[in-house]
A and B are shown apart, each in its own frame.
Chain A
Amino acid sequence: ISRHESEHLRKNPDASLIRLGIGDTTQPIPDTITLAMAEQVRGLSTIQGYRGYGAEQGNMPLRKAIAGKFYQDMGIKANEIFVSDGAQCDISRLQMLLGSNVTVAVQDPSFPAYIDSSVLVGQAGELEEETGKYGNIIYMNCGPENDFFPDLSTIPRTDIIFLCSPNNPTGHAASWQQLKQLVEFAKANGSIIVHDSAYAAYIRDGSPRSIFAIPGAKEVAIEISSFSKFAGFTGVRLGWTVVPEELLYSNGFPVIKDFNRIVCTCFNGASNIAQAGGLACLSTDGYQDLCKVIDYYMENAKILVDGFTSLGWKVYGGKNAPYIWVHFPGMSSWNVFAEILKKTNIVTIPGRGFGPAGEEYIRVSAFGQRQIILEALRRLNSFL
C-alpha cells in the first residue's frame, strides 16, 4: 500500500492524502494516564521508586485490575491473566505454545497475524496460488450471507479456532447466541478457541465483550486483548492474554502452565512504564476519559457509515468496531482501492489483504481527526 501511495504522490505531488486505511489510533492519550506513566518514570530515578525486573506475567495490581474491570462475575482470576506488550506478540507466543502439529481455523477475512504466525510455526502447509489459501488452514468464510459469522455446520474440526470479535476487518460483533454456538462447537470437537477481543471496548449494542461471558467457555477458550485501540497504546505497547486454569490438553495437562513457561522463557514482561499507564486506564477517571475517545472514533464511524450509505454503497460494520467494511460486488478490491486513491486522494485498504473472502471489499477505519473524516466524505461526494 505504501508503494501505491508513494507512486501516487510522485504523480501528484500536490495531492493531500487522507489515510483512512491503517488501523492506527490518532487521538492523544488522556492526561490521567500519561501523568501516571510520567510519575512511574520519575520514580525510576529514585531509590524508593526504582523497579528492576518485574514478573514476566505482569504486575499483580494490574492483573487484578484487568480481572476486576473486564471479567467481573466471569470467574476469571488475576493469576489467569498474563500482561504482555500487545496482542500481536501474544499471538506468536500462543503459536509457539501450541507448536507446529496443531491444525487451525481462521475467519476469512481476518487480521493477517493469525495466518502469518501459523505459517511461521509450520502449521500452515503450502500456499495454493490459485485460491490464495494455505493447504492446512481451514478458512471460515464470513460474509453478508451468514451475518459475518462462520457457518459452523460447514467447518471441519481443527485443534484451534481463531475468532476476532468485534471483527477486524468486517466490524461484526458476534452475538451471545453465536458465541454460545461456537463454544458448543469447540466443546463437541475438543478444540481450543483463541478469542481476540481487542475491540471489545467499541461494542455499543450489548453484544458479549468476552468469550468468558458464555458458560463453559473457560474449558475451551483463551482470550487475547489489548490496550492499543482501547487506550491509544499502539506505540506504548500493552495487552493481555487470559488462559483459564480449566483449559486442559488432551492428556490433562493445564495449558496455563505451558503458557507460563513460554512467557518466562521467551519474554521478560511488558515495560513497567506501560503497565503503570495500564493501571491508570482502568481507574474510574482513566476509564471514563478513554470512553470519550472511543465515542469520538465511533462518531467518526457513524459519519462514515451514513456518508457511504447515502452514496449508495453497501456498508457493513462501523457499529461495534472502528472499521467499516464496504462491499463492491463483482469488483477487485485493489482496483477499487486504486480508483478511490486516484480520484479522491484517499487511502483505504483493499479487502484482499485480509484473505480471499475480502476480495470485493474495502476497509475504511474510523480513526482520525473529525475534520479529516468530513473532508474525506466531501471528496467522495464530489467524486461520485
Chain B
Amino acid sequence: MSLMNNLSTSMISSSSSTFLAPTSFNPSRTQSVSVPLKNINIVKCVATPQEQQNAYKTKVSRNANIAKLQAGYLFPEVARRRAAHLLKYPNAQVISLGIGDTTEPIPDVITSAMSKRSHALSTLEGYSGYGAEQGEKALRAALASTFYRNLGIEDDDIFVSDGAKCDISRLQVVFGSNVTMAVQDPSYPAYVDSSVIMGQTGQFQKDVEKYGNIEYMRCTPENGFFPDLSKVARTDIIFFCSPNNPTGAAATREQLTRLVKFAKDNGSIIVYDSAYAMYMSDDNPRSIFEIPGAKEVAIETASFSKYAGFTGVRLGWTVVPKQLLFSDGFPVAKDFNRIVCTCFNGASNIAQAGGLACLSPEGLEAMQEVIGFYKENTKIIVETFNSLGFKVYGGKNAPYVWVHFPGRNSWDVFSEILEKTHIVTTPGSGFGPGGAVRVSSESAHLVTGRMSWKLAEDSSSFTIESNSI
C-alpha cells in the first residue's frame, strides 16, 4: 500500500502544466530530466503487519473524505517496466518521465529584483515582517493594470498567493462541503481532488472512473474540446481551464460568452483557471473578464509559474470581483478575504518582489521571450507528430499538444515508445473509451487517465490522446 500510494500521490500532486521544452535532442539536456523517483517521498511504514496489529492507535477517526481519494496504481508498474528496460539496455540514455519542471532559467531582470529584496531584509530600512495577506499593494496594482486594464477589475479585487494549486484549495474552503461542482474531462487533478477532500463528492465509482456528485464535462475533438453545455447539469461551481491543460484547447470569445450565459442562467460560479493565458496565439480572450457580465459569475486564478519559471519560487493570484455575490447577497470576496487572512499569511515577500519585476516593461519582455521559446518547441513537436501522420490537437495556444493514437491501447503505446526510443512515459491504466495519453517531449510521458490527469511537469511535454477499443 505505502509505496504505491506515495508514488502515485506525489505524481498526481505535481502541477498540471506540462511544457514543451526546448527540443531535447540535445543530450546535455537529459541531465536535467527528472527521474520518476526524484520527487517521491517514500514513507516507509515502520511497523510490519504483525507489529501494526499491536501498535498503539489513537481513537481519532480517519477523515472519510480523504479516504475516498484514489491512489493510482500506475506508477509502480511504470517504474518496474523502466527498471526492466534498463536491465535490457544498460547503456541506453533513458529519458524518464518524472514530475516535469520548467527548465528555462529565470531572466536576470527578475532575479536581480529578488536578490535586492533579500539583501534589503538585512537592513533596518529595508526589513519587512508580516505583509498584507492579500499581497503587497504595488504588486496588486501592477497585476490589475497588466492583465485587467479596462476590464473593471480593481487592485483590491486581486489576491496574491503562493500559487494556483493552493488558491484552488482555499476557494474550496470558501465554498464549503455543500456545493456541487463541474469539471472538464480531462482536467487538472487538483479540482477534483480538492473537491473530494472538502466532502463535496460521493465515492469513486470504479466502473466509470468518476466520483459521485461531480458533473464531468467531456471535452473531445468532436466538440472542439469545449463542453456541450446543453448536456451539462446545473452545478454551483464550474471549473474551467483555458488555455487547457492537458488538451491545449483555448476557448473562443463565443464559447466563453456561452459559458458565462450558462453560469448566469444557472446562478453558478465559474472558477476560471487562466494559468496559460500568455501562451495564447489566437485572438481568444485571455481573461474571463473580457466577457461582459463575467464579473457577476466568475473568479479567475492565475500564476507566475509558467510565465516566469516560478514553479519553485511560488507566486500566483486570484481575482474575486466585488460584483460576485452568494445567493443571500453576501459578497464572495469578503469570505475569500477572510479565508486568506485565517488560512494563509501572504506570499513570500521575496517572490512578490520578483513578481513586480516580472510586470515591469523589461520583465514582461523577458517573460514573452521565454514563453516564445517554449512555443517554438511546441511548434516543432506539432510538426514532428504531423509529419509522422498523427492527428494532433492543441499546441497553438498552450504548451500542450494533444496527439491521437486511434484504436491503440495506452500500455501498448507506452511499450512501443519505450522499446524504440528509450523514452519512458506514463500510461493511464484502467481507462475507458477515449483514453488519453500524454507525452512530454523532454521526458516522454504517456499518461492515460481521464480523471487523474497527471501532467508531467516537464519543460517539453505534450499530451497524446488514444482511443482504446
Contact bitstring B32-64, A, C-beta under 8 A = 1, else 0: 100000010111111000001101111111111
Contact A86 B62 (CB under 8 A): no
Contact A235 B129 (CB under 8 A): yes
Contact A86 B345 (CB under 8 A): yes
Asked if B66 lies at the interface with its beta carbon under 8 angstroms from chain A, I say yes
**CB-nearest residue of chain A to B312:** A272
Asked if B152 lies at the interface with its beta carbon under 8 angstroms from chain A, I say no
Contact B55 A252 (CB under 8 A): yes
Interface size on B, residues (CB 8 A): 91
Best-surrounded residue of A186, A246, A248 (most CB of chain B within 10 A): A248
Residues of B within 8 A of A252 (CB): 52-53, 55, 57
Q: Which of B165-173, B235-243, B376-384, B460-468 contacts A (4 or more CB under 8 A)?
A: B165-173
A241-271 with Cβ < 8 A to chain B? 245-254, 256-258, 260-271
Contact bitstring A16-46, B, C-beta under 8 A = 1, else 0: 0000001011111111011101100110111
Contact B66 A99 (CB under 8 A): yes
User: In the complex where A34-B118, A38-B118 touch, is A52 in contact with B66 (Cβ < 8 A)?
Assistant: no
**CB-nearest residue of chain A to B313:** A271
Contact B348 A237 (CB under 8 A): yes
Q: Chain B nearest CB: distance from A8 CB in Å?
A: 21
**CB-nearest residue of chain B to A249:** B62
Asked if B194 lies at the interface with its beta carbon under 8 angstroms from chain A, I say yes
Q: Which of A128-136, A187-195, A207-215, A296-304 contacts B (4 or more CB under 8 A)?
A: A187-195
Asked if B296 lies at the interface with its beta carbon under 8 angstroms from chain A, I say no
Asked if B15 lies at the interface with its beta carbon under 8 angstroms from chain A, I say yes
Contact A120 B339 (CB under 8 A): yes
Please classify how large the interface on chain A is, using the bins under 10, 10 to 19, 20 to 34, 35 or more. Answer: 35 or more
Contact bitstring B67-84, A, C-beta under 8 A = 1, else 0: 101000000000000000
Residues of B within 8 A of A55 (CB): 10, 39, 41
Asked if A150 lies at the interface with its beta carbon under 8 angstroms from chain B, I say no
Contact among B45, B57, B60 for A160, CB-based, below 8 A:
B60
**CB-nearest residue of chain B to A237:** B348
Residues of A within 8 A of B104 (CB): 50
CA distance A30 to B44 in the complex (A): 37
Contact A246 B55 (CB under 8 A): yes
Contact B63 A97 (CB under 8 A): yes
Asked if B258 lies at the interface with its beta carbon under 8 angstroms from chain A, I say no
Residues of B within 8 A of A29 (CB): 121-122, 127
Contact B123 A28 (CB under 8 A): yes
CA distance A271 to B166 in the complex (A): 13
Contact among A100, A266, A267, A271 for B351, CB-based, below 8 A:
A271
CA distance A234 to B60 in the complex (A): 33
Contact B312 A42 (CB under 8 A): no
Best-surrounded residue of A35, A102, A249, A277 (most CB of chain B within 10 A): A249
**CB-nearest residue of chain A to B65:** A99
Contact A257 B2 (CB under 8 A): yes
Contact B105 A45 (CB under 8 A): yes
**CB-nearest residue of chain B to A112:** B342
Residues of B within 8 A of A332 (CB): none
Contact B194 A102 (CB under 8 A): no
Contact among B165, B173, B348 for A236, CB-based, below 8 A:
B348
Contact A267 B344 (CB under 8 A): no
Contact among B32, B63, B107, B122 for A28, CB-based, below 8 A:
B122
Residues of B within 8 A of A159 (CB): 59-61
A53-101 with Cβ < 8 A to chain B? 53-57, 79, 85-86, 88-89, 91-92, 96-101
Cross-chain pairs A/B with CB under 8 angstroms, 17 sampled: A24-B129, A49-B105, A57-B41, A79-B44, A88-B342, A91-B343, A98-B60, A99-B64, A116-B342, A120-B342, A189-B59, A190-B58, A190-B60, A192-B60, A247-B58, A250-B60, A272-B314
Give me 14 other A-B pairs in contact (C-beta within 8 A), A27-B127, A236-B350, A273-B313 excluded: A34-B119, A44-B312, A50-B103, A52-B101, A52-B102, A100-B177, A102-B61, A120-B342, A245-B43, A252-B52, A264-B9, A271-B314, A271-B348, A271-B351
Q: Write the residues of chain A forming the contact surface with B, with a CB cutoff of 8 angstroms.
A: 22, 24-31, 33-35, 37-38, 41-42, 44-47, 49-57, 79, 85-86, 88-89, 91-92, 96-102, 113, 116-117, 120-122, 159-160, 186-187, 189-192, 219-220, 232, 234-237, 245-254, 256-258, 260-274, 277
Q: Write the residues of chain B forming the contact surface with A, with a CB cutoff of 8 angstroms.
A: 2, 5-6, 9-10, 12-15, 32, 39, 41-46, 52-53, 55-67, 69, 99, 101-108, 111, 114-115, 118-119, 121-124, 126-131, 162-163, 165-166, 168-169, 173, 176-177, 189-190, 193-194, 197-199, 309, 311-314, 339, 342-351, 457, 459
